[in-house]
Structure 1
Amino acid sequence: MADFEDEWQESEPLAVAAPPPRTHHARVFRPNTGPSARGSRGRGSGTDFGWRERDSRDNRNTGNRNWRPVEEGNRKVMTIPSTKVGRVIGKGGSKIRDLEYESEAKIQIGDSSGYETELTLVGSESAIAKVEELINSLIEDYKPPQQESSSNSNKASGNSVTTSFYKTNEFGVQVIDWEKLNKQYDEQQKMRYDSLPPIVKDFYKEDPQVAAMSPGDVSRWRKANNDIQVKRTFDDKPGLRPIPNPVITFEQAFQHYPEILDEIYKQGFTQPSPIQSQAWPILLRGEDMIGIAQTGTGKTLAFLLPALIHIEGQTVPRDQREGPTVLILAPTRELALQIDKEVSKYSYRGITSVCLYGGGDRKEQIKVVSKGVDIVIATPGRLNDLIMARHLNIINFSYIVLDEADRMLDMGFEPQIRKSLFDVRPDKQTVMTSATWPNGVRRLAESYMKDPIQVNVGSLDLAAVHTVTQKIQFVEEDDKEAVLLEFIQNMEPTDKIIIFCGKKATATHITTDLACKGIECQSLHGDREQSDREAALADMVDGTVNILVATDVASRGIDIKDLTHVVNFDFPRHIEEYVHRVGRTGRAGKTGIALSFVTRKDWAHAKDLIKILEEANQEVPGELEQMAERFEAMKLRKEKEGGGGRGRGRGGGRGYNRY
């Protein structure tokens, strides 16, 4: 996603006759060091900066918003067709900044005659030469290959595919031969992939005790550990290896990697979590895996430690690789930063990482990537941005993780994911984590995974963590703020809470209202600057404040270990988000409380909420059951009447108002 919101507005061509064709020209200027140059920056000055040919082109007096002072240095003016200036500017100005960054020259968009526009290039001679070359390459039009007969195809190379991608259709019109073009593309891609070094993926040596587990032992262990279910996601093809048994201890998984074990011991863990026990043998063996588990179950460490071993185990030394080895995609900045923080805890063979996300310093992120890193942790928008700008080449990644894949699809990131992963090599190892298993996640798995093993921790049905007590409070919409204030005033000094709101404006309002009442709190939502969002989390973690008011950007990827309460001020729009909100507390074996305000407008979620409460052995209020019954009755009545909908929206039909 672009970092800049202002779009460059292209000048409208003047209504004059087209001039005869002319050769694009360039003029080179040296710095003007005379008195007029020193005084040329004064407002209303009659000087011409020493590089304009005519006073009428002084953009300061024409109201040209694109004009800005250009710093001293060698200058060169080149002209390009006005129709191609947009290529140089890029969306929101992103391309012109890339050109300036790569060449270390400055680019000034100048006057347009309607058909041509002047660009002033400023910098050292080498910088000007480089940026001019980049611009010429950028504006060069694609020229289709000349049509040749099949007899003139690449006989010398033994390639039977002709260089002509055109054919004459039944009407005698020349059209693109897509079948031939696609075949040529597939062959070219195969040649690219074949030229890459092979990927080493199998690093697993099964412990004798693990190998000796009987099918009954494995089944009993999986049943006792959150009823883990393991299977091949798609068809179990002949010749595939059996699914490995789970490891019970850290030593069984990493006894051949003592440095990894040392890092685990430093963190004070006593035993693997259920998903780690089953995931490590699968991933160390080089298999693709889909891990479906709720938040707080240790999914990050499940894919991270095999990734470290994968990086170090490749045939090409790290300092000789063309780019990073591991890519971890996350839906939100907060989750990406949380993963980056987790990576930093494990020091293994000097492996380095970078976190790429919108709102961060793009130039600094590019600089870190260009210097060389092993792990890239990114949000889909920023990853797509840097791939399109050619700062990253996806073909270099051999271990790819799509973390919280269902959330990325919910947020509409599927186009960016598919665009970014378009060129990914087919023999890579892929890991996908998700809390649910919707059709969109299944489509991604079919597109990017090969014979994946699916590990389900618990049921595929939505379920909240069982260490959280879920409470429902029925309130009128106008009474919610008063009820929230009463709750906060009765908090214990050691309590720490997140208050979830449905809108950014609501979060801002509550934060301001609490501050006016002398209650210290922080807020976290999409309208806040990235530095403020990070500061808000830091204040919660270190105890500076005990109250965080947030939107659903905080429902995943936020790990505040001593969080005691979650308050759903607004019930979430999707029941899946309820599960993730609740999962912010009751983590790492601790208990927590989730309090949800439910109003009349939330009756559409009553049935699903009852299922979640019952699954976690929570109390189901009778009023919630009545709400679900009335909503179902309303739907049936609407279907009989031919409406087929949910009533007339939030303000609703008669059935809604009766509740």
Structure 2
Amino acid sequence: MGDFEDEWLEHDEIQGAQAPAPRTYNNNSRVYRPSAGRGRGERGVRGRSNESNWRSRGNPAGGDYQNTRRDFPRREDGNKKSMYVSSQKIGRIIGKGGSKIRELESESQAKIKIGDSSGTETEVTLIGSDEAISKVEDLLNDLLQDYKPPPKENHNQSAGSGGSNEFFKTNESGVQVIDWDKLNNFHDQHQQERWENLPPIIKDFYKEDPEVAALTPAAIAHWRLANNDIQVKRTFDDKPGLKPIPNPVMTFEQAFKHYPEILDEIYKQGFTKPSPIQSQAWPILLRGEDLIGIAQTGTGKTLAFLLPALIHIEGQVIPREERDGPTVLIMAPTRELALQIDKEVSKYQYKGIKSVCLYGGGDRREQIKVVAKGVDIVIATPGRLNDLVMARHLNIINFSYIVLDEADRMLDMGFEPQIRKSLFDVRPDRQTVMTSATWPPGVRRLASSYMKDPIQVNVGSLDLAAVHTVTQKIMFVEEGDKEAVLLEFLNNMDPNDKVIIFCGKKATATHISTELAMKGIECQSLHGDRDQSDREEALADMVDGNVNILVATDVASRGIDIKDLTHVVNLDFPRHIEEYVHRVGRTGRAGKTGTALSFIARNDWAHARDLIKILEEANQDVPDELELMAQRFEAMKLRREKEGGGYGGRGGRGGRGRRDRY
């Protein structure tokens, strides 16, 4: 994953990792200002062992030390306690780049020092109050405990089956090989038996309002055209026997009049009428159909799938407290979007339904505790979800309503393997919802794998388009002049203006934040190199108005909802044109207007033609220089094709490693 796609992979525990070299950690203040680093010193790791147990050392007899380390007593000196850990497991405590040891220290308020190693074992010293040491011991015991799977039934043994040879056959060469046909048939039969033993799912909760049922095809077509040209169809083959696509609802009452508590929660939020995607999605989801919602960010997609999910949870046959696990799963690509959805869920109090947000960087042990206590909705990023499913803290077969939110973004970030691993065991009769801003081949492939006869709702064109409430401005700037132009822009901001400055790299975001702080301009930063707590604090500072400037990478291009954001500045043009659309969509939300200013340098010429299409679609001014830039890039491509050479995006040309420039 390149620098320009600044997304984090979630890695909670790196087993067997080597100890990191000494490094410095910054304690960031609430408002980003440069601060001196604080060293943590070396943590040596020498030697490895196959020993798997965490053991405390002690001499029960209280006598002298004996000749073997096994009889060394546990040493306690005031608020210090020493333990001995298999050297092979020290990597679990340290984590990648020291991330795990910092998390343990933060959660327990104890200090952890990695000491000398005997080769097979390493000394670990715990420092702090008695309470802190006790807590960190519990955390370490949980972390270092080896998972032992329960004994499996021997499905190969059956009367006359020949035992373990049942799934083997002899090929033409006389070699014994796996009989995959038999093995796959056995797996399918076993899965079918498991699914048949599950409780049935109730999915249809829709009672169509008489006014909605009376709408004529002409009236429906006129309404859909007037509301961003909504297109509704069956995504795949329209098989015979399927129900017709339901008519859209025009009011909240038409959708939820049989669920007055849901209506009360909607009224509390002060909404006046459903958004276009909600009007068409609610009848489809309440009827129990699978749905693919294609719409830009900020169009109300979250509420479109959330309210039917609440009704689905409460409407099942088995009471919530007697179910084997949560009922609804919502997957989101980034931590920020997952937290945004969790915040939205918390606004709607219905029948005591509880939710949990699972994401990397959060307290894994605490998340597991919340799940174990009982929740109804799980909101998760793919990495952490896959982690907990593989560790058997969650059983995916229990979910009957699954949402893949921002599916295109999850695929862009390379999360398809985690999604498929997590959903491998999902029951086939569940209800599935997928939302996306675009409709690329990867999303279609995912839809065909996990959805049954889905209805697709497109709000607006499937072509890439930016929201029309944003004024898009283009400024041609040399790479070295960007900082000065940005500073001039910030100095001319109104006191009430709020801006997100998007950078292509984490290092650039850090540099710009530091430079602004040194010039006395308060700001916050949001990127993958910051701790999760700092990222949440940065976003909270913007939402609360403590700062008006956020310097960010593309982790902030989706799932960030700052209602009074007035400006977006693209200091670096994004690597993919889709991210430009999402960046622009951070402003001009909920009917308000905004401004997006993009700095275009010479090496951005490969994006010129796509940018022109987006500007024209939104009726924005297209600078002549941008058109000229696009023509020159296309001419270069033709010349290279004739010469038999290739071309690319940013990079070089010829033997010097430099590419044709604008």
Q: TM-score range by the shorter chain?
A: 0.7 to 0.9
- Write the mapping of 1:420-435 to structure 2, written as runs, cut at 5 A: 420-435=422-437
- Write the mapping of 1:195-594 to structure 2, written as runs, cut at 5 A: 195-594=197-596
Counterpart CA distance in 2 for 1:136 and 1:325 is 26
Q: How much has 1:95 moved relative to structure 2?
A: 13
Contact 2:235 2:453 in 1 (8 A): yes
Counterpart CA distance in 1 for 2:485 and 2:100 is 51
Contact 1:147 1:166 in 2 (8 A): no
Q: How much has 1:2 moved relative to structure 2?
A: 2.5
Q: Is 1:3 the counterpart of 2:4 in the alignment?
A: no
Q: Deviations over 1:566-610 (max 9, x none)?
A: 000000000000000000000000000000000000000000000
Q: 1:90 to 1:189 in 2, by over 3 A?
A: farther
Aligned mate of 2:83, from 70, 79, 84: 70
Q: How much has 1:644 moved relative to structure 2?
A: 3.5
Q: 1:631 to 1:228 in 2, by over 3 A?
A: same
Q: How much has 1:171 moved relative to structure 2?
A: 2.0
Q: Deviations over 1:176-217 (max 9, x none)?
A: 211111110110000000000011000000000000011111
| Deviation beyond 2 Å, 4+ runs, structure 1 | 4-14, 28-36, 55-60, 68-71, 85-98, 108-114, 134-140, 142-153, 644-647, 649-659
Q: How much has 1:358 moved relative to structure 2?
A: 0.4
Structure 2 gap segments, 5+ residues each:
1-9, 19-45, 75-80, 105-113, 123-133
Counterpart CA distance in 1 for 2:15 and 2:626 is 48
Contact 1:324 1:375 in 2 (8 A): yes
Contact 2:17 2:91 in 1 (8 A): no
3-state secondary structure, aligned to 2:596: strand
Counterpart CA distance in 2 for 1:561 and 1:322 is 39
- 5-14 or 297-306: bigger deviation: 5-14
- 265-274 or 172-181: bigger deviation: 172-181
1:44 corresponds to: none
Q: Deviations over 1:350-389 (max 9, x none)?
A: 0000000000011110000000000000000000111111
Counterpart CA distance in 2 for 1:568 and 1:30 is 58
Contact 1:328 1:376 in 2 (8 A): yes
Q: Is 1:630 the counterpart of 2:632 in the alignment?
A: yes
3-state secondary structure, aligned to 1:70: strand
Contact 2:577 2:610 in 1 (8 A): yes
Counterpart CA distance in 2 for 1:144 and 1:276 is 50
Q: Deviations over 1:58-82 (max 9, x none)?
A: 699xxxxxxx9239xxxxx9x9xx9
Contact 1:541 1:560 in 2 (8 A): yes
3-state secondary structure, aligned to 2:555: helix
Q: 1:533 to 1:151 in 2, by over 3 A?
A: closer
Counterpart CA distance in 1 for 2:527 and 2:661 is 35
Contact 1:436 1:460 in 2 (8 A): yes
3-state secondary structure, aligned to 2:330: strand
Q: How much has 1:646 moved relative to structure 2?
A: 3.1
Contact 1:2 1:91 in 2 (8 A): no
Contact 1:57 1:111 in 2 (8 A): no
Q: Is 1:650 the counterpart of 2:651 in the alignment?
A: yes
- 510-519 or 143-152: bigger deviation: 143-152
Contact 2:229 2:459 in 1 (8 A): yes
Q: 1:146 to 1:472 in 2, by over 3 A?
A: closer
Counterpart CA distance in 2 for 1:624 and 1:13 is 62
Q: 1:137 to 1:389 in 2, by over 3 A?
A: closer
Q: 1:286 to 1:139 in 2, by over 3 A?
A: closer
Q: 1:186 to 1:91 in 2, by over 3 A?
A: farther
**Amino acid in structure 1 at the alignment position of 2:367:** Q
- Write the mapping of 1:97-176 to structure 2, written as runs, cut at 5 A: 137=148, 150=160, 164-176=166-178
Counterpart CA distance in 1 for 2:444 and 2:551 is 34
**Amino acid in structure 1 at the alignment position of 2:83:** V
Q: Deviations over 1:526-574 (max 9, x none)?
A: 0101111111111101110000000000000000000000000000000
Counterpart CA distance in 2 for 1:397 and 1:11 is 44
Contact 2:47 2:117 in 1 (8 A): no
Contact 1:292 1:433 in 2 (8 A): yes
Q: Deviations over 1:480-528 (max 9, x none)?
A: 0000000000000110000000000000000000000000000000010
Counterpart CA distance in 1 for 2:56 and 2:341 is 51
**Amino acid in structure 2 at the alignment position of 1:191:** E
Counterpart CA distance in 2 for 1:218 and 1:449 is 26
Counterpart CA distance in 2 for 1:136 and 1:601 is 51
Counterpart CA distance in 1 for 2:445 and 2:585 is 26
Counterpart CA distance in 2 for 1:327 and 1:462 is 28
Q: 1:242 to 1:147 in 2, by over 3 A?
A: closer
Q: 1:135 to 1:640 in 2, by over 3 A?
A: closer
Counterpart CA distance in 1 for 2:198 and 2:156 is 31
Structure 1 gap segments, 5+ residues each:
15-23, 37-46, 61-67, 72-76, 99-107, 118-122, 154-161
**Amino acid in structure 2 at the alignment position of 1:301:** L
2:107 corresponds to: none
Contact 1:211 1:245 in 2 (8 A): yes
Q: Deviations over 1:46-102 (max 9, x none)?
A: x53xxx762598699xxxxxxx9239xxxxx9x9xx9xx78997995999999xxxx
3-state secondary structure, aligned to 2:166: coil
Residues matched between the structures, number: 594
Counterpart CA distance in 1 for 2:261 and 2:150 is 52
Q: 1:383 to 1:91 in 2, by over 3 A?
A: farther
Counterpart CA distance in 1 for 2:52 and 2:534 is 49
Q: How much has 1:645 moved relative to structure 2?
A: 2.5
Q: 1:317 to 1:630 in 2, by over 3 A?
A: same
Root-mean-square deviation (CA, aligned residues, Å) is 3.9
Q: Deviations over 1:315-352 (max 9, x none)?
A: 01000000000000000000000000000000000000
- TM-score by length of structure 1 reads 0.82
Contact 1:607 1:625 in 2 (8 A): yes
- Write the mapping of 1:604-615 to structure 2, written as runs, cut at 5 A: 604-615=606-617
Higher relative contact order (CA 8 A, sep 6+): 2
The percentage of counterpart residues that share the same residue type is: 74
**Amino acid in structure 1 at the alignment position of 2:11:** A
